Amino acid sequence: MPKSPLDGIIVIDFSTIIAAPLIGTLMADFGAEVIKVELPKVGDVTRGSGGLSGKRSPFWLTIGRNKKSVTLDLHTNEGQEIARKLCSKADVALFNYRPGVIENWNLGPEVLHKINPDLIIGLVSGYGQTGPYKDKGGFDRTVSAFTGVTYTSGYPENPPVRSGFPLIDYLTGYLGAFAVMMALYNRDVNKNGGEIIDLSLTESAFRTSGGAISMYSKFGSIYERAGNRI
C-alpha cells in the first residue's frame, strides 16, 4: 500500500475553534500524525458545539477528524514541560493565541526553536503578531466587518449581511495549510531549517476583496453591494 503524502510528518496542534485547527485537520487528511492538545477535564471547546446534549458534536467530528488527543494544563510547569517534549520531536506546532500568551507558557518560538531548530511554528491570530491591533481578539464575524467583507455582502438597498458560515476562518485554515507546506518544502528541499508563520484572519479576508482595496487606494472608488448582479 502506497504511503500517504504526509506520512511521517508530526503536527502538535495547540489551537482551538476553526481557523488554526483546520490546518491540522487538512494535514491529517493527507497522512500526517496530528496530536491535538486539549484542556484537562473539559477537552476542546468544539467538542460541545452543535447543541447535541450528551452526544458527540458533529462539528468536532469534522474539525477533529483523524487527530490523536492529549490533555495538558499549559498553565502548569509540568504541562509546559510535556508540551516542549512533544515539540522537540515534531515537524509542526500550531497556535492561535494572542501575542504573548505562549511566551508566558514558555512555548514561544525562541524557546521552541532552541530545542528544535527545524520546527515549523504556525501562529494564527486575528490581526497578526505585530502592529496596533495585535492584542485584540479576532473572530470571523469581527474580522469580516473590519475588512469590509460584510459591507460588500448583500443587496444595495438593504443593510450588509454576513455569511451564514465562518468563511474567513475556513479560508485562513486553507491558506495556513498552504503556508505550512511551503515551509516544510523550504526546510526539507532547500535545507533552510524551521520557520515562523505569522498568519492573520485579516490577511485572509483581504484575499477575498479582489480589486476593491486597490480601487479605493488608486481612485477613491468604494466597492458597493451588488446582490446577485455580476
Phi, psi angles (nearest 5°) of residue 196: -115, 125
Query: Splitting the chain (230 residues) into consecutive groups of 10 residues, what average pLDDT does each group show?
Result: 94 98 99 98 88 74 96 98 99 97 98 99 98 94 94 94 94 99 98 98 92 90 87
CB 166 within 8 A of CB 114: no
Burial (CB < 10 A; 0-12, 13-18, 19+), residue 10, is middle
Residue-level pLDDT at 203: 96
Q: Which one is catalytic: 73, 140, 169, 188? A: 169
Note the pLDDT of residue 128: 97
Instruction: Provide the whole-model pTM.
Output: 0.94
Domains defined for the chain, CATH in brackets: 10-219 (3.40.50.10540)
- Residue 169 annotated in active site: yes
- Nearest CA to 207 out of 176, 162, 163 is that of 176
pLDDT given for residue 185 in this prediction: 98
